[in-house]
């Protein structure tokens, strides 16, 4: 994994690119409706294949991530299929989520969009296969992120959530 350019001067988010092809046949995986966090969302599905999650984890440069986020304690990998009409409004993640890496598993039409704390649009991450975004949460300028699948095709992504139960250090920015 390579961390490329900063997406926007007001956001701690960088474009990332995988060095090796994941070769995941996303259209032929088994998906179940995502449960838990989004009670009323019926357009996001999740695959729970642990071997695929391990493959995604192995594609990440954990040493590079640890340089920018030394306090993370856990990595939770999700493989998502967002059907047409899926939408998550601008939001901030839970405080124990310290960062995420979103990877496009195919060339998607839409990608993660970023907003300031007043919902003003700032930028959009890459929507290309094997590219995505590494975003540090709850640090620097207050920002939000969102996604909407405006296409007529399913959107396939993997997201690695970096979590920690340790308190945030005030004013800490990489």
Residue 63 corresponds to which tokens in the numbers above? 């040493």
- pLDDT surpassing 50 at residue 171: no
Establish if 6 belongs to a structural domain: yes
Tell whether 173 is covered by a domain: no
Q: Are the beta carbons of 99 and 72 closer than 8 angstroms? A: yes
- pLDDT at position 169, please? 58
Strands 143-148 and 87-91: antiparallel
Q: Which residues constitute the domain of residue 91?
A: 2-20+29-163
Domain assignment present for 8: yes
Burial class, 160, CB count within 10 angstroms (exposed 0-12 / middle 13-18 / buried 19+) = buried
Indicate if the pLDDT at residue 55 is higher than 80: yes
Residue 151 lies in a domain: yes
Provide DSSP, 76-135. Answer: EEEEEEEPTT-EEEEE---TTEEEEEEEESS--S---EEEETT--EEEE---STTEEEEE
- Average pLDDT on 77-91 reads 94
Residue 169: inside a domain: no
Does some domain include residue 33? yes
Q: Residue 174: its pLDDT value, please?
A: 40
The reply to whether 61 falls in a domain is yes
Residue 170, in any domain of the structure: no
Q: pLDDT tens across 115-130, in order?
A: 999 999 999 999 999 9
Q: How much is the mean pLDDT over the chain?
A: 91
CATH code of the domain containing 57:
2.60.120.620
Q: For residues 141 and 67, what is the distance between their CA atoms, to the nearest angstrom?
A: 20
Q: How many domains does the chain have?
A: 1
pTM for the structure as a whole: 0.91
């Amino acid at each position: 994994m390579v961390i490329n350019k900063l997406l926007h001067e007001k956001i701690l988010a960088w474009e990332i690119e995988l060095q090796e092809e994941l070769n995941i046949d996303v259209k032929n995986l088994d998906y179940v409706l995502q449960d838990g966090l989004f009670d009323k969302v019926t357009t996001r599905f999740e695959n729970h294949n642990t071997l695929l999650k391990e493959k995604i984890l192995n594609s990440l440069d954990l040493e590079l991530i640890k340089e920018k986020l030394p306090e993370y304690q856990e990595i939770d990998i999700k493989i998502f299929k967002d059907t047409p009409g899926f939408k998550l409004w601008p939001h901030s993640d839970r405080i124990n989520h310290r960062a995420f890496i979103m990877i496009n598993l195919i060339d998607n039409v839409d990608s993660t969009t970023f907003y300031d704390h007043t919902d003003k649009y700032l930028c959009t991450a890459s929507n290309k296969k094997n590219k995505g975004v590494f975003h540090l949460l709850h640090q620097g300028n207050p920002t939000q992120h969102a996604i909407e699948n405006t296409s007529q095709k399913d959107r396939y992504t993997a997201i690695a959530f970096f979590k920690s139960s340790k308190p945030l250090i005030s004013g800490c920015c990489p």
